Amino acid sequence: MTTSQEAEILTRVGLGTPMGTLMRHYWLPALKSSELKADGDPVRLKLLGEQLIAFRDSSGRIGVMDHRCPHRCASLFYGRNEEGGIRCIYHGWKYDVDGRCLDQPNLPPHQQFKDKVHAKAYKAAERNGVVYVYMGAADQAPPLPDIAATHIPESEATITFALRECNWLQGLEGDIDTSHLNFLHYGAALPADFAPTDPARFGQVRRDPEYQVEEHELGTIYGAYRPADNGSTYWRIAHFLFPCWTLAPFIPFEHYRIARAWVPLDDTHMMFVMIGPKAGPGSVAPTERVLPNSTDWLGRYRLTQTAANDYLIDRTTQRTRTYTGIDGIHQQDQAVTESMGPITDYSFEHLAASDRMVMATRRRLLGAAKALAESGTLPPGGGTAGAESYGRMRGGYFLAPETRPWADVYRLQLAAVQAAGAAEAAE
């Protein structure tokens, strides 16, 4: 059971909290590049409990900073984004993307002290249509994580953002819980509804998989397995990667080039971010039915199906055609994770064998947060070395010989896919 003290560590992400401190050792996907135009409107956003603004300056550089002007704390959201910086409309003080004060026009030149004033600014970086923010010490920023999906060119990628009104861990844990797939999403499906060559049909034949779970250098991995035809085993492999990434097994292993992040905005809100190819094998569709963005702190990428309208559940459809009556895979996930409350009451849980990955991931997060707090030990992937290790991780499903032991399942499948890719590239 997760104790109340452990739950407090896992779910609180503000400044000075153990998990908030851990999260500040990583780059977090925070915006789509398309949200920021050179000399365009600033954007409000929340990240790790902080109220921030983001803007793109005249030369295309991105600034992400506390929304308060260091002079009198007026919000820079109302500022003028012009000529290489953001200018506060209260007294005209101006800041560049690094937070340096460029101008104090309400002061005579001999009374100015620009070199002594800095806005609280964070490092920002772009890769293929996504803006990442690093909220730790600037001189300790690691490279961007070398996740395969993040290298898909923007023109070839589907990039989905969706706000969720619950704690970040609730969202993430839904993605490392494989047995819900054949209930929440496919509960009304029959094996015959799948193509005869699709291994996913074995999930409908056996909805009660066995599990293997272990830690690895960047997080945790599970293998959920069921018997299949002709002496083979149907495997579903997924990863949790620090600090909040998952590689979920909803497409074939050989085509896997998808990443999903569960980014904490504050203790009770998170942003789901998915990156994958828009066409070809393993392509992903964008989340639909998103409201227009507003300028509220939590006004970006809100789904039309919400708790306020019961996620548009159709009870007749639930009884006759689908298991849930809620339209959309993401919307089904959102309904159940938000229904747990803003922060789950972990004392109410009764975890089972099907939750082994959830339990292992909580232990991994708790261990890393405590080690950082008590001895300064950097969390996995949170230093200047190790970012390249992310690129070696892959999820997905496949069939393998029944005799293959767990220690070899992932390694041999990964080697086979890599060998096939090398052979194809050589042709």
How does pLDDT run across 85-143, given as a tens digit for each residue? Answer: 999 999 999 999 999 999 999 999 999 999 999 999 999 999 999 999 999 998 889 99
Distance CA 359, CA 2 (A): 8
Instruction: Tell me how crowded residue 154 is: count the other CB atoms within 10 A of its CB.
Output: 15
What pLDDT is attached to residue 182? 94
Position 131, amino acid? V
User: Do the beta carbons of residue 265 and residue 46 sit within 8 Å?
Assistant: yes
What pLDDT is attached to residue 366? 98
Domains belonging to the chain, first-starting first, are 29-140 (2.102.10.10), 148-426 (3.90.380.10)
Name, in order, each residue with C-beta under 8 angstroms of 101's C-beta and a sequence gap of 6 or more. Answer: 70, 93, 94, 95, 114, 115, 117, 118, 119
Residue ranges of alpha helices (H) inside 52-207 are 168-175, 201-205
Place of tokens 């990434």: 245
> Is the confidence at residue 388, as pLDDT, over 90?
no
Distance CA 118, CA 44 (A): 19
Q: Look at residues 91, 90, 29, 96 and name the one whose alpha carbon lies nearest to residue 65.
A: 96
Q: Is 31 helix (H, G, I), strand (E, B) or coil?
A: strand
The per-residue pLDDT of the chain, averaged, comes to 95
Distance CA 210, CA 133 (A): 38
By percentage, how much of the chain surpasses pLDDT 70?
Answer: 99
Q: Look at residues 221, 188, 38, 201 and name the one whose alpha carbon lies nearest to residue 126.
A: 38
Angle ∠(20,341,160) on CA atoms, nearest 5: 65
What pLDDT is attached to residue 188? 94
What pLDDT is attached to residue 25? 96
pLDDT band at 284; cut points 50, 70, 90: confident
> Is the confidence at residue 387, as pLDDT, over 80?
no
Mark residue 125 as left, alpha or beta (left: phi above 0; alpha: psi -120 to 50; beta: remaining). beta
Length of the chain: 427
Position 104, amino acid? Q
pLDDT mean over 231-241: 97
Instruction: Tell me how crowded residue 340 is: count the other CB atoms within 10 A of its CB.
Output: 17
> Is the confidence at residue 383, as pLDDT, over 90?
no
Distance CA 261, CA 168 (A): 10
Q: Is 186 helix (H, G, I), strand (E, B) or coil?
A: coil
Distance CA 224, CA 203 (A): 10
Angle ∠(265,241,56) on CA atoms, nearest 5: 45
> Is the confidence at residue 145, as pLDDT, over 70?
yes
Distance CA 119, CA 143 (A): 24
Cα torsion 134, 139, 143, 145: sign: negative
For residue 133, list its beta bridge partners.
28, 124
User: Do the beta carbons of residue 383 and residue 141 sit within 8 Å?
Assistant: no
By percentage, how much of the chain surpasses pLDDT 90?
Answer: 91
In this structure, of 82-86, 204-208, 392-396, 417-421, the range with the lowest mean pLDDT score is: 417-421
pLDDT band at 389; cut points 50, 70, 90: confident
> Is the confidence at residue 344, as pLDDT, over 70?
yes
Name, in order, each residue with C-beta under 8 angstroms of 266's C-beta and a sequence gap of 6 or more. Answer: 13, 14, 46, 48, 49
Q: Look at residues 41, 30, 264, 29 and name the one whose alpha carbon lies nearest to residue 149.
A: 29
What pLDDT is attached to residue 385? 67
Position 146, amino acid? D
> Is the confidence at residue 8, as pLDDT, over 80?
yes
Name, in order, each residue with C-beta under 8 angstroms of 290's C-beta and a sequence gap of 6 or more. Answer: 162, 301, 302, 303, 304
Which tens digits make up the pLDDT trace of 30-40? 999 999 999 99
> Is the confidence at residue 211, as pLDDT, over 90?
yes
pLDDT mean over 16-40: 98
